[in-house]
Homo-oligomer: A and B are copies of this chain.
Amino acid sequence: MTDENASVDPRFERVAIIGLGLIGGSLGHAIKRGKLAAHVAGYARSAETRARALEIGFVDSAHETAADAVKNADLVVICTPVGALGPVAAEIEPHLKRGAILTDVGSVKMAVVRDIGPYVPEGVHFIPGHPIAGTEQSGPDSGFAELFDGRWCILTPGPGADRDAVAKLAAFWQACGSKVDYMEPKHHDLVLAIVSHLPHLIAYNIVGTADDLETVTESEVIKYSAGGFRDFTRLASSDPTMWRDICLNNKDAILEMLGRFSEDLSAMQRMIRWGDGEGLFNLFTRTRAVRRSIIEAGQDTAAPNFGRTPAQKK
């Protein structure tokens, strides 16, 4: 579909962003950078976040209710944690403009179809979406226009989705810097379980394990974290609400991946216990090719240590 979009105008008259944190904020910045809307209306739960979004300037107006923010919008993007999508959809339903596109950025997609689907009025185009881009930070100050550049955005339009609406939304994400892909919600949830959910859960888990040890102190873990541990703490400092909601809403795929991971871990444990140097060497060898491919695909940097700046002497 990418080529078909070349002629599609990616711009909207009025965009409403519901939820003004890392993703909502970055979207606002990307819209401003690309001049993709005449007006960006925003809503967040707290008055602080609304005021901060206006001050930074990635929205043109901030509204006290989501219902108010979506009025007359041609594109509505819900950027709250996954658990809040249903309630937000219920609230905005009567206020959506006929012909508008309704989308989201939630990290799971089957639950989104389940939760938002019932609240989509006749004549509104509901096309779920998920930009595969993020950082460990959250809140209105964490967003930036370049977040989506070169990253994939997955759309999961239903079987009856309007082709023009899908093409328009795809063109919009491309204008925000993304590459666009299409998937079934169920397959999306399986893919994301391995490329995102499992890594985050493993990271939270190992940081928890380290925190519980009686034989190694917390101060030792922190001092010597450059041995590899610190890499995991980045993922493990992501927003707890977001990750709770992902676990609750992608249970089956996550349990499937956790089960496979545990099996493989038992096999590795066995190799270590029995001193199977050849088996270990083979496992440690084949994983290198994956990183090379990720760097070639432009999805990570080849600079050693992610190009981290060297530590300061203290």
Q: Which chain A residues have a beta carbon within 8 Å of chain B's beta carbons?
A: 132-137, 142, 146-147, 149-152, 154, 177, 179, 181, 190-192, 194-196, 198-213, 215-216, 218, 220-238, 240-241, 243-244, 247-248, 251, 254-255, 257-258, 260-262, 264-266, 268-269, 271-273, 275, 277, 280-281, 283-288, 290-294, 297-301, 304-314
Chain B residues with Cβ below 8 Å from A277 are: 244, 247-248
Additional A-B contact list (12), CB under 8 Å, known A150-B313, A205-B265, A233-B287: A132-B226, A133-B226, A135-B304, A136-B304, A154-B224, A195-B216, A204-B284, A208-B264, A226-B300, A230-B300, A243-B280, A262-B266
List the B residue with the shortest CB-CB distance to A305: B135
Chain B residues with Cβ below 8 Å from A306 are: 234, 305-308
A229 and B151 within 8 A (CB): no
Chain B residues with Cβ below 8 Å from A152 are: 223-224, 226
A224 and B132 within 8 A (CB): yes
* A-B complex: 6 closest residue pairs judged by Cβ atoms: A150-B311, A196-B227, A135-B304, A240-B284, A199-B228, A233-B291
B191 and A220 within 8 A (CB): yes
C-alpha gap A194/B194 in the complex (Å): 24
Chain B residues with Cβ below 8 Å from A286 are: 208, 211
C-alpha gap A264/B200 in the complex (Å): 14
A255 and B283 within 8 A (CB): no
Chain B residues with Cβ below 8 Å from A243 are: 280, 284
Chain B residues with Cβ below 8 Å from A195 are: 210, 216, 220-221, 224-225, 227-229
B206 and A304 within 8 A (CB): no
Chain B residues with Cβ below 8 Å from A312 are: 149-150, 298
Chain B residues with Cβ below 8 Å from A241 are: 281
Chain B residues with Cβ below 8 Å from A251 are: 272-273, 275
Q: Contact check: which of B222, B287, B297, B298 meets A204 at CB < 8 Å?
A: B287
Q: List 19 A-B residue pairs with CB atoms under 8 Å apart, sorted by A's residue number.
A: A177-B313, A190-B216, A194-B210, A196-B227, A199-B227, A201-B268, A202-B206, A207-B290, A209-B257, A211-B290, A230-B300, A231-B234, A240-B280, A241-B281, A244-B277, A244-B284, A247-B280, A255-B272, A262-B265
C-alpha gap A209/B207 in the complex (Å): 20
C-alpha gap A284/B244 in the complex (Å): 8
B196 and A216 within 8 A (CB): no
B290 and A210 within 8 A (CB): yes
Chain B residues with Cβ below 8 Å from A223 are: 132, 152, 181, 297, 299
Q: Contact check: which of B150, B248, B268, B304 meets A314 at CB < 8 Å?
A: B150
C-alpha gap A228/B130 in the complex (Å): 14
Chain B residues with Cβ below 8 Å from A283 are: 204, 208
